[in-house]
Amino acid sequence: METEILRFVEYMSVERRASRNTVVSYERDLNQMAGYLRERGIAGVSKVTKTALNSYILFLEKSGRASSTVSRVMASMRTFFHYELRQGNIRKDPTEMLKTPRVEKKAPGILTVEEVEKLLSQADGDGAKEIRDRAMLELMYAAGLRVSELISLHTEDVNLSIGFVTCRDGARERTVPFGRSARQALVRYTEQARGQLLKGEDVPELFINCSGAPMSRQGFWKIIKYYGEKAGIREDITPHTLRHSFAVHLIGGGADLQAVQTMLGHSDPAATQAYVTYAAKMREPQETAYAQPRK
């Protein structure tokens, strides 16, 4: 089955141009499924049955996996076996009658404009680290970036003269503008702090940690947690919080939904549409909070 999974992963990457994170997720989910089935004497895709897959789903649930995780695994399996059916490798799709567990959707963490301002203002020092932290936070909010996009940016991906950043995810690419505040923070970082942090190393990534290496996801997680606590924000802040807040503030301020979808890099309009509800709920008690998203 491993050979079929490799072919499917290549198909998703090359022909479907799925994002790198999506491809990695498919490969991980399917390899774990294949390992479970192999231990039970099922090695080929043509031998996989609905009963075997139901057994695997039950195993995941008993292992304490969250409903959202089980749903993602089932989505991976469905896509894989649909592909195998189209390829003629199986006669019947074993996922056809599988029931997806109900997932309770939780509202994403969203800060008000005032809370964002308070968060960003905490990185106000003159040291290289504080200057870098301010630039990262400003850019993440100003462009609605994913943390993976933020830490993988190269210096040439940011145009400071015009004010836009180019994000790449596998074969997909998008350009997102950012405003004056983010530009000022980035100029200060590149001119005053980045060289100090590099310590003589030649690193293409834009954001560098205190050891002169590229910033990691875990490193930025600690940064945003630190400043959230320093700002006294009770909301559980994650790297994605600024991305959610960016979208809600833009929509609440009257931005075109399709434009926001493009800036966020959403392939599914429904993912962007969800922010409309959050914007409407948050606008009522603080009508002026969304009038002017950060420039």
Answer with the residue of higher pLDDT: 224 or 68: 224
pLDDT at 291 over 90: no
Per-residue pLDDT averaged across 79-106, rounded? 82
Domains defined along the chain, listed by start: 2-86 (1.10.150.130), 113-290 (1.10.443.10)
pLDDT at position 201, please? 86
Answer with the residue of higher pLDDT: 16 or 189: 189
Tokens for 145?
A: 């970036």
pLDDT at position 171, please? 65
pLDDT at 258 over 80: yes
pLDDT at position 101, please? 65
pLDDT at position 56, please? 94
Three-class SS string for the chain? CHHHHHHHHHHHHHHCCCCHHHHHHHHHHHHHHHHHHHHCCCCCHHHCCHHHHHHHHHHHHHCCCCHHHHHHHHHHHHHHHHHHHHCCCCCCCCCCCCCCCCCCCCCCCCCCHHHHHHHHHCCCCCCHHHHHHHHHHHHHHHHCCCHHHHHHCEHHHEECCCCEEEEEECCEEEEEECCHHHHHHHHHHHHHHHHHHHCCCCCCECCECCCCCECCHHHHHHHHHHHHHHCCCCCCCCHHHHHHHHHHHHHHCCCCHHHHHHHHCCCCHHHHHHHHHHHHHHHHHHHHHHCCCCC
Q: Assess contact for 223 and 136: CB atoms under 8 A.
A: yes
pLDDT at 99 over 90: no
Of the pLDDT bands very low, low, confident and very high (cuts 50, 70, 90), residue 288 is very low
- Give the other-Cβ count within 10 Å of 267's Cβ: 11
Of the pLDDT bands very low, low, confident and very high (cuts 50, 70, 90), residue 283 is low
Per-residue pLDDT averaged across 60-78, rounded? 86
pTM: 0.62
pLDDT at 196 over 50: yes
Q: Are strands 164-169 and 172-177 parallel, antiparallel or unpaired?
A: antiparallel
Nearest CA to 25 out of 72, 91, 79, 90 is that of 72
Which residues contact residue 62 at a Cβ distance below 8 angstroms, ignoring those fewer than 6 apart?
A: none
Nearest CA to 243 out of 277, 282, 275, 291 is that of 275
pLDDT at 290 over 50: no
pLDDT at position 102, please? 59
Angle at 179 between CA 173 and CA 180, to 5 degrees: 140
Of the pLDDT bands very low, low, confident and very high (cuts 50, 70, 90), residue 270 is confident
Of the pLDDT bands very low, low, confident and very high (cuts 50, 70, 90), residue 154 is very high
Tokens for 165?
A: 């950043």
